[in-house]
Amino acid sequence: MAPNPLITHLYTADPSAHTFNNRLYIYPSHDRETDIAFNDNGDQYDMTDYHVFSMDSIDGPVTDHGVALTAKDVPWVSKQMWAPDAAAKNGKYYLFFPARDKEGIFRIGVAVADTPEGPFVPEEDFIPGSYSIDPASFVDEDGQAYLYFGGIWGGQLQCWTESENGLTFDASKSGPHEPSGEGVVALSPRVAQLSDDMLTFVDPPRDLQILAPETGKPILADDHERRFFEAAWMHRYGGKYYFSYSTGDSHYLVYATGDSPFGPFTYQGRILEPVLGWTTHHSIVEFREKWYLFYHDCELSKGVDHLRSVKVREIVYDEEGKISLA
Ligand code: FUB
């Protein structure tokens, strides 16, 4: 049976799901109507706040806890509150979110709450050294937390270059640009270790390598069916680290596995085929001993790309740890 949208009174996208206190919480983007025309820079994704949702059972009702954070309460934000994620640590809850700063550059902010549903109180400024979009937090079994992030084209990852002068931003590379050419390696998502208070990076973000299984070498830039585009997610299963992501213009959700939260990761395959709508984005969560894929599509809005709705499917792992839809 085709899954139904979980939330129908609002448009919601980019669902980051977590089990906190034996309840399932969803931290999605809150899509809204806009008259901004579709373009490859993603200007039509013009969101201004976040709601938090929760469920007591996977097929039960979804509670909307209301506005958890709004752009006008975040001093550094100008617009476009894109895909968020949340983490629990030290008895507190942290909402990580990307948005454009006052110069139009995507940065990543953090806001703190005492309960999973918020409201979240934002830090005055974005996380120092953060850039691009789609933060995904991961707290490992030893309590160490990491932030995975990055997105090309509208997500601006390709605008950043590391040189001996540090990290520089080139606005002329904004929009649908990325490396290309024979033997050219794809851009990597980034990972940074989070400080114990979850508010800063311990070290500068580093590249997360995704290797092609047939060569043992990084996936190439022109391999659009497998290269990283956006929508990073990290989870752990059976002692392995699973890094999953969207391939963007080829519209797949795919995954790679590794032995360390820093990688390298080896590409394994697809989790979800293209859905209705340009974007695809997800999270993977264990809830009451079953595993679920949260994702979005544009069925409810009848195909309007920037008006998406969250859905859920159960997933299973075979003996080798390969993922498939249940
Ligand atoms: O929701 C805005 C952007 O669309 C997200 O940041 C991307 O992952 C894509 O889903």
Rounded Cα gap, residues 291 and 323, in angstroms: 10
Both tokens of 64, joined, read 């909307």
| Substitution site in 245, 281, 282 for ligand 1 pocket (most atoms within 8 Å of beta carbon) | 281
Residues with CB under 6 A from ligand 1: 13-14, 29, 42, 45, 82-83, 133-134, 151, 230-231, 279, 281
Rounded Cα distance between 200 and 123, Å, is 11
Question: What is the phi/psi pair of residue 291, to 5°?
Answer: -110, 140
Strand 265-272 and strand 210-211: the pairing is parallel
Q: Which two tokens stand for residue 123?
A: 């830090």
Over range 177-193, report the average pLDDT.
97
The identity of residue 40, as a single letter, is D
Cα separation of 191 and 40, whole Å? 25
Q: How far is the CA of 82 from the centre of ligand 1 (A)?
A: 6
Distance 250 CA to ligand 1 centre (A): 15
pLDDT value at position 1? Answer: 60
The domain at 11-208+274-325 falls in which architecture? 5 Propeller (2.115)
Per-residue pLDDT tens digits for 255-270: 999 999 999 999 999 9
**Which atom of ligand 1 lies closest to the CA of 230?**
8
Residue nearest to atom 4 of ligand 1 (CA): 279
Query: Token pair for residue 222?
Result: 């022109």
pLDDT tens-digit map of 134-163: 999 999 999 999 999 999 999 999 999 988
Residue 324 pLDDT greater than 80, yes or no: yes
Pick the closest to residue 152 from 125, 190, 183 (CA basis): 190
d(CA 240, CA 259): 6
Report the pLDDT averaged over residues 162-180.
92
> How many CA atoms does the CB half-sphere of 77 hold within 13 Å?
23
CB-based contact 229:132 (threshold 8 Å):
no
What is the pLDDT at residue 320?
97
Residue 156's closest CA among 206, 110, 95, 103?
Answer: 103
In this prediction, residue 162 carries a pLDDT of: 87
Q: What is the pLDDT of residues 110-139, one digit of tens each?
A: 999 999 999 999 999 999 999 999 999 999
To the nearest 10°, the Cα dihedral for 169, 41, 126, 286?
A: -120
pLDDT value of position 166: 87
- The answer to whether residue 103 scores a pLDDT higher than 90 is yes
Q: Which atom of ligand 1 is nearest to the CA of 83?
A: 6
Average per-residue pLDDT for the chain: 97
Mutation probe of ligand 1 site: the residue of 49, 230, 252, 306 with most atoms within 8 A of C-beta:
230
Taking the centre of ligand 1 as the mean of its atom positions, its distance from the CA of residue 173, in whole angstroms, is 19
The closest-lying atom of ligand 1 relative to the alpha carbon of residue 231 is: 8
Residues sharing a CB contact under 8 Å with residue 104, sequence separation 6 or more, in sequence order: 78, 171
Which are the catalytic amino acids? Answer: 14, 230
- Rounded to whole angstroms, how far apart are CA atoms 147 and 228? 16
The residues with which 206 forms a beta bridge, in sequence order, are 191
The string of pLDDT tens digits covering residues 206-241 is 999 999 999 999 999 999 999 999 999 999 999 999
Residue 194 is given by DSSP the state B
Task: Identify how many contiguous H helices and E strands the chain contains and give both numbers.
Answer: 0, 24
